Amino acid sequence: MCGRFSQTHSAESIAKLFHLQTIPDWQPRYNIAPTQSIPAIVQSAQHREFKKFRWGLVPSWAKDVSIGSKLINARAETVAEKPSFRDAFRRRRCLILADGFYEWKTQSGQKQPFYIRLKDGSPFAFAGLWERRGAAQGEMLETCTIITTDANDSAATVHNRMPVILDPDEYDRWLNLDADAIDDLRSLLDPYSHNLTIYPVDRAVNSATYDAPDCIQHVA
């Protein structure tokens, strides 16, 4: 699963890399946790649009918004069929902006957090889905989930699952509002094809309320 991640780059670098016109209210985040507001991109009729979604998808039919805390991830293998996700998979796909994520591994009886990023440390995007709960159902709420797949060889040293990391040349295919070919969309959800940099970080990351630059610093 993916339960924590970071996005620490500047608004200017993110806007340039993802071809965004504006990024309002941007700030670096070092330990993003479920139910928090997270940065994402959707495709509007004319251009890519920056959004902030609450992490934990709440299906439009859900009566209780607390279900979102259980739907922070969607498995690539079942996302097209599972009732919680299948409509969003067909109609509401998004890019979730990140530059690293955390996984935990038990060592000497303690859970040790590891930080996982691209080799060059550059920003990237997870494959995500989003949903809107209308005012007629209570408060207006836009939520999202991160799709996970089998871990690649490098990530498997820590965990057996990892978030789907899209290559830049796949962004348009994933966001395409007209794309409804399930097999074509599924083909984008394979494990990341390149090796990743992985290293242990301080256990302060374990606290969802701790969000500081030292979260991503290597520890011995």
Q: Is 49 a catalytic residue?
A: no
Q: Check if the beta carbon of residue 35 is closer than 8 Å to that of residue 69.
A: yes
12, 49, 94, 103: the active-site residue: 103
Q: Is 103 a catalytic residue?
A: yes
Q: Check if the beta carbon of residue 145 is closer than 8 Å to that of residue 128.
A: yes
Q: What CA–CA distance (Å, rounded) separates 101 from 205?
A: 11
Closest CA to 101 of 3, 208, 200, 218: 3
What are the Cα distances from residue 220, in Å, to 4, 5, 104, 199, 201?
A: 21, 21, 16, 9, 8
The label of the residue with tokens 């069929």 reads 81
2, 94, 144, 215: the active-site residue: 2
Report residue 19 as tokens: 């071809």
Q: What CA–CA distance (Å, rounded) separates 2 from 165?
A: 12
Q: Which residues are catalytic?
A: 2, 103
